[in-house]
A = this chain, B = another copy of it.
Amino acid sequence: MKTAQAMSVTETKQEIRALVSRYKKEGKSIGFVPTMGYLHEGHLALAKQARKENDIVIMSIFVNPLQFGPNEDFDRYPRDAEGDRHKAEAAGVDVLFIPSVKEMYPRALSVQMTVTKGTDVLCGRKRPGHFDGVATVLSKLFHLVQPDRAYFGLKDAQQVAVVENLVRDLDFPIDIVPCPIVREPDGLAKSSRNVYLSEAERKEAPEIYKSLQLANKAVEQGERNPEKVISLVKAHLSAHLSGKIDYVELYSYPDLEPVHAIHGRCILAVAVQFEKARLIDNIIFAE
């Protein structure tokens, strides 16, 4: 059991390296939860799982400019340093690493990372370069924190897939731990964007998860045709939602490649555009 102790907060690479080096010398395992802050229950669930499985839990909060496109909301990305600090500590985080952009990128990078697999599908299709920035900042954070395990939420399953491939292909000595989507009692995936739903939209929104469950049932009962499963989901969404279907796609996981038949691990992912909120959800078939 961990003895209660004040959370350390550090803004510098030098300090995080010194802490990590000490933990390593003490033979302690490190669980890592990389975030962009503005913490919600999804992040805290990752921290709690890391707390159970490691001696030390390190969380980073860094809004990474490299993964935002020129027309995206880097400058407007919500920040709440004080609130995050309390939430992280309450979730059992030992060390909170909050570097500045200058600390993480003190000069132009001499090496460019380009993710070539699993980016041109799902949400990544509209965010060219996004996962290049994710891969770069995670490589840096992994080197600074040297975790045994790193925790990612399956809400952004494409990110988990890209990270699993990155770690495998570059041989990072890290276990990537994908964590289940946290849901409201009625099944709606938790998201900070849910507050933008109108009352009527909020009532419909759980149908997204219901459509995924229908698909899951069909696959369990032997359906192997991706087109049929996708049609099933689209029909359910069209019948029950006022929002517009952005995509319903099915791929192998984590390779995110089209499949002719549902075998092995596959992901079925959905994005729906409501008036002010765009919601995403997914389910992974693991037969």
| Residues in A lying within 8 Å of B, measured CB to CB | 13, 17, 20, 24-25, 27, 107-118, 135-136, 139-140, 143-144, 146, 162, 165-166, 168-173
Task: Report the separation of the CA atoms of residues A171 and B111 in the bound assembly, to the nearest whole angstrom.
Answer: 12
For A25, list chain B residues within 8 Å (CB).
27
The 5 closest A-B pairs by CB, nearest first: A110-B117, A110-B165, A143-B171, A112-B114, A140-B171
Output the least CB separation between A126 and chain B (Å): 20
Give this chain's copy count: 2
For A20, list chain B residues within 8 Å (CB).
173
B113 touches A169 (CB 8 A): no
For A172, list chain B residues within 8 Å (CB).
143
CB < 8 Å: which of B110, B166, B170, B171 contacts A115? B110
For A116, list chain B residues within 8 Å (CB).
109-112
A140 touches B170 (CB 8 A): yes
A171 touches B13 (CB 8 A): yes
